[in-house]
Amino acid sequence: MINNRVCKIFVPLIFCLLIFTSCGKGGDARKIPPRGEDRVKKNIEEGRGFRLGSIGGKKNTGEFDFASSNELWRASLDTLDFMPLALANYSGGIIVTDWYNDGSSDDESIKISIRFLSNEIRSDALSIKVFYKKCSIQNNCEVSDRSGELSKQLSKKILSQAAIYEKTNQSKKKRKYINSQLDD
């Protein structure tokens, strides 16, 4: 009877200890500062951290994790803000514009499709396709995929804007963390 009760208490405890002690990524010891104060400073600069004071304390109202917190998503929408959108699905990771004509030529239109392959800001995170539609007078339209140079330019612009957003976001997190440390 005692053994059964001991098993009910200690087995879950040991299981939890094993899970929690095995969490975390290994790192390169050459890149991790040996002093605790230096590690804290580095984590603050990178916008990372963990505070026990936020677990049971006041709720962080006003902080939501919407699509606007994804820098690539925001940069893509800002880059394509002059075009009408046909589809913008954050959970599906795709943005498709409607056919767009800037008014210079009545028989030509452009459509852009952006697929998100990763949330990280890197060169292979986006798949951009550019489609041209050319219509004749009889409304016979021909659609072709011309994703070459324009998709490279769009990708470069989106990635550079996303990097700016990420840098701004990290500096806000760092300032907020430092200010909350001063308040404590």
**CATH no. for residue 156?**
3.30.530
Percent of the chain with pLDDT over 70: 68
Residue 50 located in a structural domain = no
Residue 142 located in a structural domain = yes
Residue 127 structural domain = 67-167
**Average per-residue pLDDT for the chain:** 77
Which is more confidently placed, 183 or 13? 13
Residue 79 located in a structural domain = yes
Report the pLDDT value the prediction gives residue 59, as an integer from 0 to 100: 46
Alpha-carbon span 4 to 108, nearest angstrom: 78
Residue 104 located in a structural domain = yes
Residue 65 has pLDDT above 90, yes or no: no
**157 φ, ψ to 5°?**
-65, -45
Which is more confidently placed, 126 or 59? 126
Q: Does pTM top 0.85 for this prediction? A: no
Residue 158 located in a structural domain = yes
Q: Which of 27-41, 90-104, 119-133, 146-160 has the lowest mean pLDDT?
A: 27-41
Report the pLDDT value the prediction gives residue 42, as an integer from 0 to 100: 72
Residue 178 located in a structural domain = no
Domain count across the chain: 1
pLDDT digits (tens, 9 = 90+) for 44-57: 666 665 554 444 44
Residue 173 located in a structural domain = no
Among 90, 77, 75, CA closest to 164:
75
Which residues are CB-contacts of 166 (< 8 A; sequence separation ≥ 6)?
71, 121
